[in-house]
Amino acid sequence: MTALAEGVVGAGSVAPETPVRPGRRGSGAWRVVVLGVLGLYFLVPIVASVWFTVRERDGVSLGTYAEIPGAEGFAEAFTRSLALAGLTVVLALLLMVPTVVLVNLRLPRLRTTVELLTLLPLVLPPIALVVGVRSVLAWAPDYFFGTPLAEAFFALQEPALPWILVLVYVVLALPFVYRALDAGVRGADLRTLTEAARNLGASWFRVIVSVVLPVLRTSVLNASFLTFALVMGEYTVAVILGFETFPTWIVRISGSQAQLSVAVSVLSLLVTWLLLLLISALDRRRGTKETS
């Protein structure tokens, strides 16, 4: 009875409340200060660039932005960079999507090896890579002169569409593409979906097109965006190999048309932001559909 009474009393008693530690005073103010400093760090150069492009002697004008489409060499350089970016995105995805799926589903022991291989472009400086490529391009046509291989090297260096830049850009984009796709694969139950599709008689090509790509849609978009931004902003490889792309064109006209070059840079930054916001909107829309 005594034990029962003690149990009843213990059950009826209220456990003492855990004291709540008061938050540090001034932490909110410090956050505001830090975020404000970071915002100024990013916004001040952009605002200064915009002001530089619209400032005129008699006031403010958007005439510099109106001159961009008709600027000499702009259309050619911009379309060339767009073509290079599109080809790089396609080749990188064709190379890495099957690789990531195969490594995660069939060859998990090779995960570390593939990760190390895709990290090599970050370890190897781009300047060293492009100097090596330039040496090979200068040596190979003479060594293989009169053979189809020499013609292939000449075709890779066609100024209108330099495929050699596409190949180099694919190598430079491998770390970003692999990380984006690998994160998407690990976050989805891809093994169950692929096994179900295979049991229903789907080929591996059909599995990748109808199952893997829809599941990894956000990851593919992120990988494509990172690759596109890399190609549209890459300068070192193109200028050393002697090809004019969008970034090299901006640098070329910066001496004689400073306002125009800054205006083009501001617009390219705006387009990059819009693409990033579009990817975020698509990701949110997909999350809303999955939760509903």
Tell me, what's the pLDDT at 4?
40
b (16+ CB within 10 A) / e for 238-270 = bbebebbbbbbbbeebeeebebbbbbbbbebee
Question: Rg (Cα) of the chain, in Å, rounded?
Answer: 28
Query: Could you say which DSSP state residue 55 is in?
Result: E
Average pLDDT over residues 162-181: 93
The predicted model scores a pTM of 0.80
SS3 letters for 56-121?
Answer: ECCEECCHHHHCCCCCCCHHHHHHHHHHHHHHHHHHHHHHHHHHHHHHHHCCHHHHHHHHHHHHHH
pLDDT in tens, 180-207: 898 888 877 777 888 888 888 888 888 8
Across the chain, what does the average pLDDT equal?
82
Q: How many CB atoms lie within 10 A of CB 142?
A: 9
- The amino acid sitting at 202 is A
Q: Is the pLDDT of residue 237 over 50?
A: yes
Token pair, residue 8, equals 């009843």
Other C-beta atoms lying within 10 Å of the C-beta of residue 7: 10
Say whether pLDDT at 53 is over 80.
yes
Scanning the chain, the segments in alpha helix (DSSP H) are 2-12, 27-54, 63-66, 74-105, 111-123, 126-143, 148-156, 163-186, 190-199, 204-207, 213-215, 217-233, 236-241, 246-254, 258-291
* 116-130, 162-176, 195-209: range with lowest mean pLDDT: 195-209
Give the architecture-level CATH label for domain 65-291: Orthogonal Bundle (1.10)
Q: What is the pLDDT of residue 90?
A: 94
pLDDT at 162: 92
Euclidean distance between CA atoms 268 and 273, whole angstroms:
9
pLDDT digit string (tens) for 9-25? 444 444 455 555 555 55
pLDDT higher at 275 or 170? 170
**For tokens 């990817």, what's the residue?**
279
Averaged pLDDT, 253-262: 87
Q: What percent of the chain has pLDDT over 90?
A: 21
Q: 74-88, 140-154, 177-191: which has the highest mean pLDDT?
A: 74-88
Contact indicator for 235, 248 with CB cutoff of 8 Å: yes
Minimal CA–CA distance to 169: which of 221, 103, 115, 245? 245
